Amino acid sequence: MVPYIIYLLVKGFSVFINFLPEGFALWLGRQLGRLIFYLDRGHRKVALENLQTALGEEKPKRELGTIAKRAFQNLGMMAIEFFRIPKLETEDFKKKVSVEGLEEALRLLEKKKGVLLLIGHFGNWELMGLMSKVIGNPIMVIAKPMKKNRWVDEWITKIRNAAGLEVISNVNASRKVMKALSQNRVVGILIDQRAKRSEGIWADFFGKKAPTTPGLAILAMKTGAPVLPVFMVRNGFQNHRLLIKKPLELIRTGHLKKDVEANTQLFNDTLESMIRQYPDQWFWVHRRWERKKRVHHR
């Protein structure tokens, strides 16, 4: 019963947000993010621990605290923008988001191998879905179903579909992705969540090993599809920059296992360099390196 009540509350809040002027709604989102930073001790602790791991040797604690707070504020604004996606027209999106590198990216589709997007939980990653409408081709993304609340999960998927995305479950996703690439489609793969120890590759991330999904590297090696790093960067209050980078030069020695490891490291390095440029725009509240340490009772 509780999950359904949570769903009703979130949906009700989203209806309320859509009645407000955009500027005020975003201001409210930023204040909510700030409030959650102070009230949600658990996630604040995770964010500060992650920042200490990643940037602790380079930045003073006070600055890490400021970055964490801004990251929470960004997430608050992002939630508001996500709730407003269904009413966001393609023309409004074009005014709000300056896109860099689109022409070069579209030229890659002429090779008829599809395109793989290296994406992370960065800036407002959900807004990137609207590029499906800009290019007139539904972008496929892989998402883990939210098992704790199927109503919220279905509702979020509906909003993502409204943006133009085709969302598929991470379970047995590779076959669907291979098929999409063979149809010359664009597929986005998030690489910045902790992979299962049994499935992940231990690659450096800010100088510390992190279990990282090898999926993107395996698909790139098998299909020959180019890998484009793409990041949405918040640019001031109501605007964004969508940075579509040049395709990465993948390592191909003919030794698949080693190539997958080397390219997974390349992907982590690419993401890390973006986070270093815009540290307050990444999702620091996720335990990227490891789970909570288990307490062993004797």
Instruction: Select from 216, 191, 233, 214 the least CA-distant residue to 114.
Output: 216
pLDDT, tens digit, 9 for 90 and up, residues 182-211? 999 999 999 998 888 888 899 999 999 999
Query: What is the C-alpha separation between 15 and 6, in angstroms, rounded?
Result: 14
Confidence (pTM): 0.93
Between CA 34 and CA 36 the distance in angstroms is 5
Residue type, 128: M
Alpha-carbon span 183 to 114, nearest angstrom: 7
Which tens digits make up the pLDDT trace of 236-293? 888 999 999 999 999 999 899 999 999 999 999 999 999 999 999 999 999 999 765 5
The closest alpha carbon to 241, from 83, 96, 27, 120, belongs to 96
pLDDT digits (tens, 9 = 90+) for 149-193: 999 999 999 999 989 999 998 888 899 999 999 999 999 999 998
- The letter for the amino acid at 288 is R
Query: Is residue 180 within 8 Å of 114, Cβ to Cβ?
Result: yes
Q: What confidence score (pLDDT) does residue 290 get?
A: 78
Where along the chain do its domains lie? 2-281
> Can you tell me whether residue 176 is helix, strand or coil?
helix
